[in-house]
């Protein structure tokens, strides 16, 4: 896992500025604490900061073969198999990112189709004066680009492009409205004017600093639900999980996993324990200090003991959150206000004391049909069904000066594109989430919170084999008896009975409302006075919102404004994230 950035400028433009390249490298240092390199090749510059996971001694980048240079952020899990498929091709390192270099020389822009893993890759061909940017199919690893007057810039994080002075700090209103209403920004545009995402599965080709081609690989198999018996589906799922987790364990450094009380991480634990033999799995679980809050530590401990795993817990308190929240929010430069950033950040901080890699359960709900909103989306409107994300966080609260307009358009476009092709309503809902919500919220949260501590997060449930085994299942093997993820639960019932996969579970929540309610008056006044909030909300209504933060709807909106106030100070006002929440919000 690493940070990548660079520039590709047109012939005749001034060469890449060393100060700009130094700023890009410095802004990505947290992603690559084990080394950094910057090279200038004609009008193209490549910047790399390294978190060493594979080939610790020999895997420094850029990697070169002939006129081609490559930098990458991610892991190519099938690198050994790719090497074997290229007999006679000399490899200079043991890096998992070297096979893509040779594949590019053989196949050109189509090289990414053979890669199994999570990645953002930049390839410079000096002979053709081309730059190629590619991102993995699910969008596990981030990549952004920015058109310049004389070329293009790219980086793993938007904040690096801002820190280098390559574009002005500002807020794109349409994305801001999406963020306020959905807690994430959809589609290719980011909240920063001019900075766009390379989409999941996309490859962009630039010639002499200008976009000259683009292509995109699909994350999901085509077609509607297949006909398959439950026993056959279970056998296929078992094989896919075993293969995927085994590949995701490939590492030259210590690794562990994040364990909740849920089905997804329990499934990963079961497979890791089966594969690890005498070596105990190391699992990390978070809990909270609020009585009555969803606390998964007890069930996680039972599951860990049942397979002999070493189990570490992280106790998250209100005082910890207020002390570190400015840093946590600042890590989310591409803003996603999912309150799960809080436990993710603290778990990564704790895990880094022992490991550099953790396996995580993201993607299970999307691939196997776990969310309750899928059941609603399947029903016709006259039976209580409704479109996903039909209601925004601030709808009906009267807090904002101007009600957000068109905030659902981006997600609606993703949902429309996900339909058709014989897909069922359930599949269409899943595909919409996998295209938009997953990369722009859940995976973004995982990447930023873990990379803030130099920890690599891996997602075995977001793997082509697992997607093939799960997405085209009959609807009845996903939803049954009012529960989602039926087949995964049925598999887990045999693989890890201690997980109690069919027991009714309390949904995972972070008690931000309870924390804010204890300091509602003080927080409300400070948040209402922030420049980013004052321009979009009525101050007196913001204060009343925080006073009622114990209520679920009011608490969600109050959290959104608290997040936005801290995010705006860090990334628009460029005022940093030093101190606790009270210091960060002080005049």
**Burial readout 565-575 (b: 16 or more C-beta within 10 A, e: otherwise):** bbbbbbbbeee
CATH class of 230-371+442-499: alpha beta
Is 406 exposed, middle or buried, given 0-12, 13-18 or 19+ CB atoms closer than 10 A? exposed
Can you tell me the distance from the alpha carbon of 257 to that of 357, in angstroms, rounded to the nearest whole number?
Answer: 8
Can you tell me the distance from the alpha carbon of 532 to that of 273, in angstroms, rounded to the nearest whole number?
Answer: 48
Reading the block at residue 368, the tokens are 């196997």
Is 499 exposed, middle or buried, given 0-12, 13-18 or 19+ CB atoms closer than 10 A? buried
Consecutive 10-residue averages of pLDDT for the chain (587 residues): 94 95 97 95 96 85 96 96 94 94 94 97 95 98 98 98 97 97 97 98 97 96 96 98 96 94 96 91 94 82 97 95 97 97 97 97 96 84 72 96 94 92 94 97 98 97 97 96 95 97 78 92 96 96 95 96 98 91 93
- pLDDT score, position 382: 55
- pLDDT score, position 504: 82
Of 137, 87, 140, the residue nearest 114 (C-alpha) = 137
* Residues found in the chain: 587
Asked whether 171 and 531 are in contact (CB, 8 A), the reply is: no
CATH architecture under which domain 2-216 falls:
4-Layer Sandwich (3.60)
- pTM: predicted TM-score of the whole model, two decimal places: 0.96
Strands (E), 104-170: 117-125, 130-135, 144-148, 151-155
- pLDDT score, position 21: 98
- pLDDT score, position 383: 57
- How do the domains of the chain map onto residue ranges? 2-216, 230-371+442-499, 512-585
- Strand pairing report for 282-288 and 310-316: parallel
Domain pair 2-216 / 230-371+442-499, same fold: no
């Amino acid at each position: 896992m690493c940070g990548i950035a660079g520039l590709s400028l047109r012939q005749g433009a001034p060469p890449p500025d060393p100060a700009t390249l130094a700023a890009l490298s410095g802004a990505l240092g947290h992603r690559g604490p084990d080394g950094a390199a910057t090279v200038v090749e004609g009008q193209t510059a490549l910047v790399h900061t390294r978190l060493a996971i594979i080939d610790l001694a020999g895997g420094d980048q850029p990697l070169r073969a002939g006129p081609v240079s490559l930098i990458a952020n991610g892991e190519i899990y099938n690198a050994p198999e790719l090497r074997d498929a290229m007999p006679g091709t000399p490899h200079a390192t043991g890096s998992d990112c070297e096979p893509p270099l040779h594949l590019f020389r053989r196949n050109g822009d189509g090289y990414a189709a053979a890669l199994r893993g999570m990645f953002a890759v930049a390839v410079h061909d000096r002979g053709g004066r081309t730059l190629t940017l590619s991102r993995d199919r699910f969008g596990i690893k981030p990549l952004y680009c920015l058109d310049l007057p004389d070329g293009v810039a790219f980086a793993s994080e938007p904040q690096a492009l801002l820190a280098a002075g390559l574009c002005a700090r500002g807020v794109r209103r349409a994305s801001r409205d999406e963020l306020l209403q959905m807690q994430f920004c959809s589609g290719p545009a980011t909240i920063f004017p001019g900075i766009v995402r390379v989409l999941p599965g996309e490859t962009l080709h630039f010639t002499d600093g200008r976009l000259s081609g683009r292509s995109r690989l699909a994350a999901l198999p085509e077609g509607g639900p297949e006909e398959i018996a439950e026993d056959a589906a279970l056998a296929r799922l078992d094989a896919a999980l075993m293969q995927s987790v085994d590949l995701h364990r490939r590492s030259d450094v210590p690794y562990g996993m994040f364990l909740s009380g849920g089905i997804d991480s329990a499934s990963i634990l079961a497979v890791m324990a089966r594969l690890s033999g005498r070596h105990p799995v190391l699992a990390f679980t978070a809990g909270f200090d609020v009585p009555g809050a969803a606390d998964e530590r007890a069930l996680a401990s039972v599951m860990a003991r049942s397979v002999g795993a070493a189990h570490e817990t992280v106790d998250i308190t209100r005082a910890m959150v207020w002390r570190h929240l400015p840093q946590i929010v600042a890590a989310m430069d591409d803003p996603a206000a999912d309150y799960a950033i809080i436990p993710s950040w603290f778990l990564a901080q704790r895990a880094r004391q022992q490991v550099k890699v953790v396996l995580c359960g993201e993607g299970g709900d999307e691939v196997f049909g776990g969310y309750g909103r899928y059941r609603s989306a399947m029903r016709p409107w006259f039976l209580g069904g409704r479109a996903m994300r039909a209601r925004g966080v601030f709808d009906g609260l009267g807090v904002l000066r101007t009600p957000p307009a068109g905030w659902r358009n981006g997600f609606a476009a993703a949902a429309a594109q996900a339909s058709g092709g014989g897909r069922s309503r359930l599949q269409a809902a899943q595909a919409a989430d996998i295209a938009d919500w997953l990369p722009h919220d859940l995976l973004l949260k995982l990447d930023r919170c873990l990379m803030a501590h130099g920890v690599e997060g891996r997602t075995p449930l977001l793997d082509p084999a697992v997607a093939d085994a799960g997405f085209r299942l009959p609807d009845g093997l996903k939803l049954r008896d009012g529960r989602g993820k039926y087949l995964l639960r049925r598999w887990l019932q045999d693989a890890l009975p201690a997980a109690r996969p069919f027991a009714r579970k309390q949904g995972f929540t972070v008690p931000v409302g309870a924390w804010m309610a204890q300091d509602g008056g003080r927080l409300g006044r400070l948040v209402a006075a922030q420049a980013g909030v004052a321009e979009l909300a009525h101050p007196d209504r913001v204060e009343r919102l925080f006073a009622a933060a114990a209520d679920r709807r009011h608490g969600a909106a109050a959290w959104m404004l608290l997040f936005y106030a801290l995010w705006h100070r860090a990334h628009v006002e460029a005022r940093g994230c030093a101190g606790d929440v009270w210091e960060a919000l002080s005049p």
